[in-house]
Amino acid sequence: MKIRSAIAGLAATVALPVAASHATDLEVTHWWTSGGEAAAVAELAKAFDATGNKWVDGAIAGAGGTARPIMVSRITGGDPMGATQFNHGRQAEELVQEGLMRDLTDVAERGNWKEIIRPASLLDSCTIDGKIYCAPINIHSWQWLWLSNAAFEKAGIPVPKNWDELVAAAPALQEAGIVPLAVGGQAWQANGAFDVLMLALAGKDVFLQVFGEKNAEVAAGPEMAKVFKAADDARRMSRGTNVQDWNQATNMVITGKAGGQIMGDWAQGEFQLAGLKAGEDYSCLPGLGVTEVIATGGDAFYFPQLDDEAKSKAQEVLAETLVDPKAQVAFNLKKGSLPVRGDVDLAAANDCMKKGLDILAKGNVIQWTDQLLSADSQKQKEDLFSEFFASATMSPEDAQKRFAEIIATAD
């Protein structure tokens, strides 16, 4: 990714969309409800309101697993919002196929999205049968281990530099009354932690063979057995977390009650809101300090078909605003994610964000499971790993057998 340092020059040539002649209110649904997320989404609302339209916030608490069924139900039930968040990939695929989502190809062509949005896989994930149905807003990578420097200082041990060192540090942390690894109780968190372990420890080739090629033999093989052993370590280290939401688990790291957390780069927004400084108060290990590859998943906005002409016009303005360089910078700096444009200034990025930008610039990227698996296959994985992390009775071997069965029938 090429990061220009002259945002002022860019802003002079690329301005926010002009005020709409048919300005109107537009309801936007999303699941950004933590403190850091709310601060970030406020930047999008401010940019859209500056066009003369009005962002009507439709935040749904409980993360994507709770919010998506509500969003889908409203759209299929004839009560569509003006715009809605989904992750890049296949989550809205059936809605598009049913003709319920708006084609944004004209908006994308006017804005030269194919030239400015990087990597190209982001827009590819919005494209079905050659037409573009969503506006990418960020690149969110799951592949991070966040560490509390204070927790390791209290335990009298160095801050780990990789996953194996964290596992080795677990007894000292527990002796100091600190949970080694915070994992919230929601199914998507356990599922995501496993996927991160898989990419870091088994490597990119195995990851793509399993999730991309749906190779059940590899899923049942020895490389994956190592990953399930690591997942067993993670399960053991997470005992005592006793929170549900991801941001509550992040807060355990912020307050030194937990040594670390496997979580996406959206956790940065919580550290920032708490006034902590990357590299001083907390540390971040992309790829768990083992395999520095990040996924090019993230968030995008889809626009349901509407009969109201003024709201349809406002949808176009919002789509343009989301990709605007100023909005991209303001939103992503607070969200902790990376921009979808390669031509914006991120001089204000913290140490962890700069690590992500460097990995992206080197091209060490991969599509994530939201892009490679259907929503149904993802749900089966979530159910498996939710059960695995919640119970000590399921062996790694039994979990791997069930995982291979899911991959054998995945689409």
| Nearby residues of 164 by Cβ (< 8 Å), 6 or more positions away | none
Q: What pLDDT shows up at residue 5?
A: 34
pLDDT digit string, tens, across residues 23-77: 899 999 999 988 888 999 999 999 999 999 999 999 998 788 889 999 999 999 9
- Within a domain: 367: no
User: Do residues 249 and 102 both lie within one domain?
Assistant: no
pLDDT digit string, tens, across residues 295-316: 887 889 999 999 999 999 999 9
- Which is nearest to 113 in space by CA: 90, 134, 88? 134
Q: What pLDDT shows up at residue 89?
A: 66
- Within a domain: 231: yes
- Within a domain: 364: no
| Nearby residues of 221 by Cβ (< 8 Å), 6 or more positions away | none
Residue 13 pLDDT grade (very low, low, confident, very high; cuts 50, 70, 90): very low
Q: What pLDDT shows up at residue 114?
A: 93
- Max Cα separation, the chain? 64
- Within a domain: 13: no
- Within a domain: 279: yes
User: Do residues 189 and 238 both lie within one domain?
Assistant: yes
Domain count, the chain: 2
User: Do residues 261 and 149 both lie within one domain?
Assistant: yes
Residue 223 pLDDT grade (very low, low, confident, very high; cuts 50, 70, 90): very high
The residue to which tokens 């009005």 are assigned: 54
More confident residue, 362 or 225: 225
Model's pTM, two decimal places? 0.78
Parallel, antiparallel, or unpaired: how do β-strands 179-181 and 282-286 relate? unpaired
Domain residues for the domain of 324 are 23-139+298-358
Q: How far apart are CA 357 and CA 351, in angstroms?
A: 10
User: Do residues 156 and 227 both lie within one domain?
Assistant: yes
User: Do residues 174 and 88 both lie within one domain?
Assistant: no
Please say if the pLDDT value at position 85 is more than 80: yes
User: Do residues 288 and 174 both lie within one domain?
Assistant: yes
> Which segment, 49-63, 223-237, 328-342, is predicted with the most confidence on average?
223-237
Tell me the average pLDDT across 217-230: 98
User: Do residues 123 and 180 both lie within one domain?
Assistant: no
User: Do residues 62 and 211 both lie within one domain?
Assistant: no
Please say if the pLDDT value at position 10 is more than 80: no
- Within a domain: 11: no
User: Do residues 326 and 182 both lie within one domain?
Assistant: no
Q: Label residue 366 exposed, middle or buried (CB < 10 Å: 0-12, 13-18, 19+).
A: buried
User: Do residues 45 and 106 both lie within one domain?
Assistant: yes
User: Do residues 203 and 58 both lie within one domain?
Assistant: no
Torsional sign, CA 344, 350, 352, 355: positive
> Which segment, 8-12, 15-19, 376-380, is predicted with the most confidence on average?
376-380
Return the percentage of the chain with pLDDT > 70, whole number.
94
Please say if the pLDDT value at position 6 is more than 90: no
- Within a domain: 156: yes
Q: How far apart are CA 29 and CA 69, in angstroms?
A: 12
CATH number at residue 38: 3.40.190.10
Q: What pLDDT shows up at residue 334?
A: 85
Return the percentage of the chain with pLDDT > 90, whole number.
70
Q: What pLDDT shows up at residue 74?
A: 95
User: Do residues 321 and 221 both lie within one domain?
Assistant: no
- Within a domain: 5: no
Residue type present at position 410: A
pLDDT digit string, tens, across residues 199-213: 999 999 999 999 999
